[in-house]
Amino acid sequence: MSALSDLLRRAEPTHISGYLWAYLDAATKREIRRALLKAVCVPGHITPFASREMPVARGWGSGGLQITLATVVADDVVKVIDQGDDDSLNARTMRALIADCSGVATTTDARAATLIQTRHRIPEDDLGDQVVLVFQVPISDPLREFEQRPMAARRMHAERDYAAIWLGLYEDHSRLNRSRFAHSYPCEVEGGYIVSSTPIPRFDVPRLHQAPFLSLFGAGREAAVYAIPPYTDVVPITFTDRPFETEAFDGPCASCGSTGSYLTEAVVDGHPALVCSDTDRCRRRQAEEAAR
């Protein structure tokens, strides 16, 4: 799409009466885009920005929403998931808000989306380079657990001083014989900064490595963004003799039979069972199975 036609489409009246196209004013969008450009240029760097108050509460995805609304263009196709599910309440609310104030098309099919705002998951489908992933981030700094003073943590990042994380990892392995990190596993980006793989499970972490898509992370409450550009090394930190472990599941998805997907608890036919957390792909697989 040309820049001109994009601008013309943006001049259309907003779908929420009294608000601008994509909610944010132009100056705010520009500011957030600048922060994002910096974040992309310095992969993994926690980049501060003047987080705005959004019509969702702080801590409910206001950072991801600001990124989405600052980057969305008129011909985007938007998918929003929470826990991998397009139909969870939070995802529905967020998707309706994005669509209402911008008029963009929405989808539940990750393969058709050009912009995916997500909380806690990466869709199971193979994603190409046409899509941008926007992650909602609760706690942006992997050092937070070890250093509560933000200014001190900032200095540690600047000096690549991650001894505290490594020491914590060492203590885990010596006491527990494994890492205690569950989700938000700390990852080294392109040999530089260590980032929090914000609460996506470890299962999804390998998919960030050399991913064809751009990943943008927004923490509204903490007023920070960071990014992982396409085709970037993302390495979960671990000792050379201690392999990184992803979540393990007993058996396949009870609904679609998938063995290679992240499973969460659900009730199938009245019994507790493990099913895919990516509900759209799971449904698609079931439909394909039924058609066969």
Residue written as token pair 């959004």: 54
Regarding 27 and contact with other proteins (CB under 8 A), the answer is yes
Residue 250 DSSP symbol: S
CB of 202 vs other proteins, minimal distance in Å: 7
Regarding 262 and contact with other proteins (CB under 8 A), the answer is yes
The single residue of 44, 64, 84, 218 carrying the catalytic annotation is 44
The two tokens of residue 35 are 């922060």
Is position 187 annotated as part of the catalytic site?
A: no
- When the beta carbons of 44 and 84 are compared against other proteins, the nearer one is 84
Query: Mapping DSSP to helix (H, G, I), strand (E, B) and coil, where does residue 214 land?
Result: strand
User: How many residues of this chain bind other proteins (CB under 8 A)?
Assistant: 69
Identified binder of other proteins from the candidate list 77, 112, 235, 266, rule CB under 8 A: 266
**Rounded CA separation 221/284 (Å):** 36
Q: What is the DSSP string of 57-88?
A: -TTSSHHHHHHHHHH--TT-EEEEEETTBTTS
Residue 137 DSSP symbol: -
- The number of beta carbons lying within 10 Å of the beta carbon of residue 216 is 26
Is position 61 annotated as part of the catalytic site?
A: no
Is position 41 annotated as part of the catalytic site?
A: no
Is position 276 annotated as part of the catalytic site?
A: yes
**Rounded CA separation 277/289 (Å):** 18
Identified binder of other proteins from the candidate list 28, 117, 232, 261, rule CB under 8 A: 28
Of 70, 87, 88, 68, nearest to 78 by C-alpha is 68
Identified binder of other proteins from the candidate list 126, 159, 241, 265, rule CB under 8 A: 265
Is position 257 annotated as part of the catalytic site?
A: no
The two tokens of residue 59 are 């801590």
- When the beta carbons of 232 and 279 are compared against other proteins, the nearer one is 279
User: Can you point out the beta strands (E) in the chain?
Assistant: 47-48, 77-82, 105-106, 115-119, 132-136, 186-189, 194-196, 214-219, 224-228, 234-236, 263-268, 271-276
Identified binder of other proteins from the candidate list 33, 38, 42, 48, rule CB under 8 A: 48
Regarding 202 and contact with other proteins (CB under 8 A), the answer is yes
- When the beta carbons of 191 and 251 are compared against other proteins, the nearer one is 251
Identified binder of other proteins from the candidate list 49, 162, 193, 213, rule CB under 8 A: 49
Regarding 171 and contact with other proteins (CB under 8 A), the answer is no
69 class by beta-carbon count within 10 Å (0-12 exposed, 13-18 middle, 19+ buried): buried
Which residues, 58 to 117, sit near other proteins by CB under 8 A?
58-60, 62, 82-90, 92
Identified binder of other proteins from the candidate list 7, 96, 167, 267, rule CB under 8 A: 267
Residue 231 DSSP symbol: T
Regarding 270 and contact with other proteins (CB under 8 A), the answer is yes
CB of 197 vs other proteins, minimal distance in Å: 11
Residues that bind other proteins (CB under 8 A): 19-20, 23-25, 27-28, 48-55, 57-60, 62, 82-90, 92, 119-121, 138, 149-151, 176-178, 180-184, 199-203, 221, 223-224, 245, 247-248, 250, 262-267, 270-272, 274, 277, 279
Question: Among all residues, which ones are annotated catalytic?
Answer: 44, 253, 256, 276, 282
